[in-house]
Amino acid sequence: MPFYDTGVVMKTLSILLADIPPGKNPEDALYARIKQTYPEVKLDQTNSHIDLIQAWPSLYNAYRTILRIKSNTDPSVVEEFYYNRFDVEILIKNPMFSAAELPALIEGTELDILEALGNKLGSGMTEQDFWITPHQFVSIGGSKPPNFRLKSRFNSPYWCGEAIVWLHR
């Protein structure tokens, strides 16, 4: 397969968990980080859209991600960035919840569990980032149930991977 030079220079971006506090839109946070790191980039949420967020792992960097932003008015105006997303398997350290917190979570929905996890990590986790059943809690069982499977969507701006969250003690 031949290599095609698109003329786009990829820029490195560093993201932080603190960029996405609970309740903040992940796209807002991503654009803010771009503007802070590269003030010369003229694309923002009013004049562009995120065209691609895709895993781009290498032998030495499993969490690398490519982000492509395109202009809404001129499709030839493109900015590309690469950065590392956060692997939930590394961040989730079971048990995440105390015995006192568990009954309310088990009786709630997967959105409630996601919100509680985000609060524990001090970071926003939304249903746009993870595959969840928003109106109920579906236990995945296991040797000691209940458990919750947290799996990121392939195009989540900040998250990658999957983890099992214990909802038992």
In the sheet that holds 78-84, the strands lie side by side as: 10-12, 78-84, 64-71, 48-55
Beta-carbon neighbour count of residue 8 at 10 Å? 12
pLDDT at 1: 45
Phi, psi torsion values for 91, nearest 5 degrees: -80, -30
pTM score: 0.87
Residue 122 DSSP code? T
Could you tell me the mean pLDDT of each successive run of 10 residues in the chain, 169 residues long?
A: 60 92 89 96 94 93 95 94 95 93 91 93 90 83 84 94 90
CA distances from 136 to 39, 105, 106, 124 (A): 43, 11, 10, 20
Mean pLDDT (the chain, rounded): 90
Q: Which residue has the tokens 């032998």?
A: 59
pLDDT at 136: 80
pLDDT at 51: 95
